[in-house]
A and B are shown apart, each in its own frame.
Chain A
Amino acid sequence: MIVQSILQIVILVLIVVGAALAVWFKDLLASVLALAAASLLVALEFYLLQAPDVAIAEAGIGAALTTAIYVIAIRRTARKEEE
């Protein structure tokens, strides 16, 4: 039980770190990858909270599809964020 609590704290901290990195990066492709990592960690947290149904949906939509659409959009526009 205590192991699971520590694991959840670590995952939640990593989610916040991933979201902060997504804002902080100037390279938009790296930013999108940070967002995908945060989304994957959210899916893992859903699985730990006994909701595997939501975890599959989050991993499919949040980590895969939005990343693909963002990558397509970045490829058509600029990759670097302007100051």
Chain B
Amino acid sequence: MSNHGMSVIVRTVTRFVYGLIILFGFYVIMHGHLTPGGGFQGGAVVASAFALLLVAFGSAGLKGRLNLHWLQSIEEVGALAFLALAFLGIGTAFFYNLLANSGGFLFGASVPAGANAGVLNAGGTVPLMNWAVGLKVMTGIAAVAITMLIGSKKEETE
């Protein structure tokens, strides 16, 4: 049981479900500026799908598919992207939203006044920061879970 994960029921259900969990996490990140949730919440949902895979299949199912160095690199990219987006509006102020209402294709559309259902292509740097935070959170928590799994494997063989 230890290296090959859990029973066949858990593994089958995991195969059905983990794609849907990852899709829902990306949805939460993408709609972070319109609906409840954001970068942290969506990233935590995606990372919980990774943790489900780790628990169900164990370290034998890992097989280098989730490389620890890659995850740490993507985490640093997320942090640096967040800082770079914050420095983008340094001409006016730190964290100044330069891209909002710029009319461009990159989340620059202007929102009509009054109650509306929400414009996805709006918000300027806020959705991009949500994506940066989401990348950082999902890879960081997945790295924590993988380190837990790999680091405790040595104890068992001794």
Contacts and interface: CB of A to CB of B under 8 A. Distances in A.
Interface of A: 52-53, 55-57, 60-61, 64-65, 68-69, 71-73, 75-76
Interface of B: 1-2, 28, 36-38, 40-41, 44-45, 47-48, 51-52, 54-55, 141, 144-145, 148-149, 152-153, 155-156
Given A72-B149, A75-B1, A57 B44 contact: yes
Contact of A53 (B2, B41, B55, B153): B41
A69 B51 contact: yes
B51 A76 contact: no
A72 B144 CA distance: 12
Given A57-B41, A65-B51, A68-B54, 6 more contacts: A53-B37, A56-B44, A56-B45, A57-B40, A65-B141, A72-B148
Given A72-B149, A76-B155, A52 B48 contact: no
Q: Is the interface of B mostly helix, strand, loop or mixed?
A: helix
Contacts of B55: 68, 71-72
B82 to A, nearest CB: 18
Instruction: Pick from B36, B38, B40, B155 the residue with the most CB of A within 10 Å.
Output: B36
